[in-house]
Structure 1
């Protein structure tokens, strides 16, 4: 168990930017900007981009970022529907409670959150909601877990993965990043096989239209139409990658060095979402 966890988390740590020594905003002073971005999602209701970070959840629109949720560390973050978010992570300074929040849910676009399950028992560093099912990677145990009711959970495997994405067509087909390379599962994540055609990546995403995107530990973005296809090299991010999301074959989002970037040409070029 410990070996699997070390392998899975080692790849993530290698790809994340180092936090600067800014004062925690929960202590009374706001962080000057988003830092240590863990997850990116697009609200299908209004198209706004959200970033789950070490200093809270931010809504990015019209070139500005606004913190919309209480300050806590959103380690895992995913959009489940319009204004409907799921997350995992840790409470902010002085908030009390267990060190890991388990699975939390917001139905008002991140303004308020409710703990659903596994508080103090799971620390989700990757989450996805698809096919009326939650998939979560628990960094405390290295387990890949699934739930159909957000309350009871089934352990699927303890594969040494860093990030994963679920097929929009089949709930049993997943891709996952590992130190050896991209892997693919056809049995819901119970077992994975190496995808020989793909480069080693740290983050991966699978859009509703079937397009895939991934980013290597040194920031090179790749795309593909199917996991087993040849992956096409696209843009290189300016800095180590922190998160990645793909909304469609043309819309790709990434984070590097505390900056959220957007591409509207399938990852060929990226521009900052925030006004400089």
Structure 2
């Protein structure tokens, strides 16, 4: 038997979630632009299908039963995922919307300023950015474009290089440090650690290894799992962080940050603007692509 046939109507599930979240039939009716009696009928339908009371009614409003709490824990993530999926499909096929997926750091420090500049020239086109550190080639098909880090060897994707990876130590200009003469001089400095085990990004171990230096982090060192957090800690004078050139160049120019030493890690990898070769680009996406590549 098809399990979907046993699901309650979506409007009954939506009414239940609204009442549970707002704690009131009246408030839910206002949010969903329905009458209170209509909300009550939706909840009654849902209670009949689940064969359990979902709310306890009292003078101050309503309260979820244990069955209601259990149902809400299942319903809310499902509704959110459904809403997100529908919105992504809508944007993907909207002639005036361009969707792009990138890592948090690339989205915030490289892509976002360019989207603002593009919007001034093309206010009729909306560029929607999704930031996700778990981005890979398989996710790009859900968007008009992706920005992927690597060597450009994705067979099903059209690739255009955007910028090369250069990584060097940075800190606040007022942080009192002796200028390092060689990479190993940094080992005993207050280094801000970056834990990138869940995604493709170098840390201090990789950076030192590229110079042939063995490194063991201090027990009391600051540790973050996002480039953006480590970078912000450096901007606030908490230590020395790895700085990706595309992120830090404006802060270096404005003297918000300074380089620590002249040592640069060059991985040979790049960030690429990519899109699925089997899906033709709509006019707005072509416009954005051409503008972005000429702005690099």
Bucket of the pairwise TM-score, normalised by the shorter protein: under 0.3
Determine which structure has greater relative contact order: mean sequence separation of CA pairs < 8 Å that are 6+ residues apart, divided by chain length: 2
**Which TM-score applies when normalising by structure 2?**
0.21
**Which TM-score applies when normalising by structure 1?**
0.22
Which has the larger share of helix? Answer: 2
Which has the larger share of strand? Answer: 1
